[in-house]
């Protein structure tokens, strides 16, 4: 009898923990793009790119890109777990270097706005290194000459499905690399 009760409690705990990992990330109230973000209908299970805003865009007209320094989100709805300030800083530096490396294969990276120049803001909004690890960040893309927001989205790697978990403490770095590759592919 006691074994049955213990087994039932264990099963309930496992299900509860699995459900927690699949929770939709928040819109992050302190982001400039937060009022524009809507539930992304293309993200069927709401765990990879749950929120998005996009205007129709011809990316081929842009030849240059301003990549702003990666920000570490400090809002009340940040989702950092088992990651200290030093680790967040290292992760932000890695994110800056990785996105710069990838995007430099498509754009001239510059510091001045112009008619053929995009501005990209990356904000690290959450990370966890305890297994399974994850990273969540916001991408805001603006036309640099008008400062008009043309696209914004929240990314989560791996997505919240139990089958998609990365069982590595390096999952945040892997997620950043995948995200940089996906953003580059979007611009091509």
Cis peptide before 105 (omega within 30 of 0): no
Give pLDDT tens digits for 25-74: 677 888 999 899 888 777 665 557 778 899 999 999 999 999 999 999 99
pLDDT over 60 (residue 5): no
Dihedral angle of Cα 36, 40, 41, 42, to the nearest 10 degrees:
130
pLDDT tens sequence across 71-105? 999 998 889 988 899 999 999 999 999 999 999 99
For the chain, the average pLDDT equals 82
| DSSP sequence for 97-120 | HHHHHHHTTTSEE-SS--TTEEEE
Is the pTM higher than 0.85? The answer reads: no
pLDDT at 161 over 90: no
CB 96 within 8 A of CB 175: no
Query: Tell me, which fold does domain 25-187 have in CATH?
Result: Double Stranded RNA Binding Domain (3.30.160)
């Amino acid at each position: 009898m006691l074994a049955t009760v213990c087994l039932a409690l264990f099963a309930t705990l496992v299900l509860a923990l699995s459900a927690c990992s699949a929770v939709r990330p928040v819109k992050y109230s302190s982001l400039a793009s937060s009022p524009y973000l809507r539930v992304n209908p293309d993200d069927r299970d709401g765990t990879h790119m749950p929120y998005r805003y996009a205007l129709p865009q011809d990316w081929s007209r842009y030849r240059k890109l301003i990549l702003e320094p990666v920000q570490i989100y400090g809002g009340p709805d940040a989702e950092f777990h088992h990651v200290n300030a030093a680790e967040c800083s290292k992760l932000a530096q890695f994110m800056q270097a990785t996105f710069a490396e990838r995007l430099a294969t498509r754009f001239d990276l510059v510091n001045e706005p112009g008619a053929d120049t995009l501005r990209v803001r990356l904000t690290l909004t959450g990370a966890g290194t305890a297994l399974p690890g994850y990273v969540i960040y916001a991408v805001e893309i603006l036309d640099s000459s008008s400062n008009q927001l043309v696209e914004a989205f929240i990314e989560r790697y791996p997505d919240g499905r139990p089958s998609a978990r990365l069982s590595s403490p390096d999952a945040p770095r892997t997620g950043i690399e995948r995200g940089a590759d996906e953003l580059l592919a979007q611009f091509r």
